[in-house]
Amino acid sequence: MKMSFRWYGENNDPISLDYIRQIPGVEEVVWALHEKQAGALWTKEEIKEQIDVIESHGLKGTIVESVNIHEDIKLGLPSRDAYIETYKTCLKNLAANGVKVVCYNFMPIFDWTRTDMFHPLADGSTALFFDKEKIINADPQELVDMVEKESNGLTLPGWEPERLARIKELFQAYEGFDEERLRENFKYFMDAIIPTCEEYDIKMAIHPDDPPFPIFGLPRLVNNAENIRKLLATNPSPYNGLTFCTGSLGADPNNDLVSLLKEFNQRVHFMHVRNVRVAANGDFSEVSHRTQDGTVDITGVMQVLAEINFTGYIRPDHGRHIFGENATNVRPGYGLYDRALGVMYLLGSWDMATRQIDRNK
């Protein structure tokens, strides 16, 4: 298992690589060229420059999150072929620099969605929060305005201003779009890139839909066992793999994370581990990584990883904002402290589980 930590790049992340390096067990930095729009080319030189910075701090940069998919690919427009060619070149350029896994998503228009970025928790910290009722009644534009207001000038992944400027037009383009059509477009994309992935040994790891149910009428592809089965079946190559995000999938209480991981682990290349507390009305709050603090069985998930001797990448996902972190000094969900505590919890669970397995041998 390769422990990693997400980092937004120099002059873009308030957290330095020097700090990340001090978190026990972290070997890898999960990075991206965040200034690049979906569909843009990542050159070999730009990639190398970023990896050099990471390596100069004693860390590795062999996993990327995300190389975003242009909306025309998801929509299946004729222009998709040109974007797919560029995507393939990105993959080749990443592979040439030693990158092994690419995390991405296939969600229409929005990436992850929340209604509140600094929701107060009982312990005095704050965390990302999702109010289901509010979303059902909201106009997508209100959500965009909220995200802009609460992100304090730091661009949030998946909420880039360029993407948000096109909201109305994109909603029109997706009118009448259903799951089947989106899945067909996914298959078209996957079938086109898999030969490149296989040739250059670079794996794709799709991120689940967050939240794992349709919002604003937009279809979902990666949200439960049945849909994940269908998605993986579109192209059976192991290079068509998953990012297994416990927080995203766990926001639907019908998803049993331990059994999902048991079923799909052969195709899981990247683990995002965090906990959520789901309320009876469907609202959910992000919480600490600890199993008892939420409704996701985090230690159960770590036990499965230990049992299969997981060799892929893992990162603590979002954390609460604690120890003085707030809207003025942190990117929502991506503070330093709670994610660092998360690393220790995940490694502690892993160490105990693997030790037990060794003893029983």
Which residues are at the interface with ligand DNO (CB under 6 A)? 65-66, 103-105, 111-112, 157-158, 207, 272, 318, 333
CA-based nearest residue to 111, from 143, 79, 149: 143
Q: Judged by CB, which is closer to ligand DNO: 209, or 303? A: 209
Q: Which of 70, 119, 272, 289 is catalytic?
A: 272
Minimum Å distance from CB 65 to ligand DNO? 5
Q: Which of 70, 269, 289, 318 is catalytic?
A: 318
Backbone angles phi, psi at 70, to 5 degrees: -65, 140
Q: Which of 87, 174, 334, 345 is catalytic?
A: 334
Backbone angles phi, psi at 312, to 5 degrees: -80, -165
The rounded Cα 59 to chain-centroid distance in angstroms is: 20
Q: Which of 70, 207, 269, 321 is catalytic?
A: 207
Q: Judged by CB, which is closer to ligand DNO: 132, or 207? A: 207
Minimum Å distance from CB 213 to ligand DNO? 16
> Can 321 be counted among the known catalytic residues?
no
The residue with its CB nearest to ligand DNO is 66
Name, in order, each residue with C-beta under 8 angstroms of 273's C-beta and a sequence gap of 6 or more: 246, 247, 289, 298, 301, 302, 314, 315, 316, 317, 342, 346
SS3 string of 155-188? CCCCCCHHHHCCHHHHHHHCCCCCHHHHHHHHHH
Q: Judged by CB, which is closer to ligand DNO: 334, or 350? A: 334
**Residue labelled with tokens 């009305």:** 281
Q: Which of 13, 131, 210, 317 is catalytic?
A: 317
Minimum Å distance from CB 7 to ligand DNO? 13
Name, in order, each residue with C-beta under 8 angstroms of 226's C-beta and a sequence gap of 6 or more: none
**Residue labelled with tokens 């397995």:** 357
> Can 334 be counted among the known catalytic residues?
yes
Q: Judged by CB, which is closer to ligand DNO: 306, or 330? A: 330
Q: Judged by CB, which is closer to ligand DNO: 5, or 353? A: 5
> Can 207 be counted among the known catalytic residues?
yes
Q: Hey, which residues are catalytic here?
A: 207, 245, 272, 317-318, 334
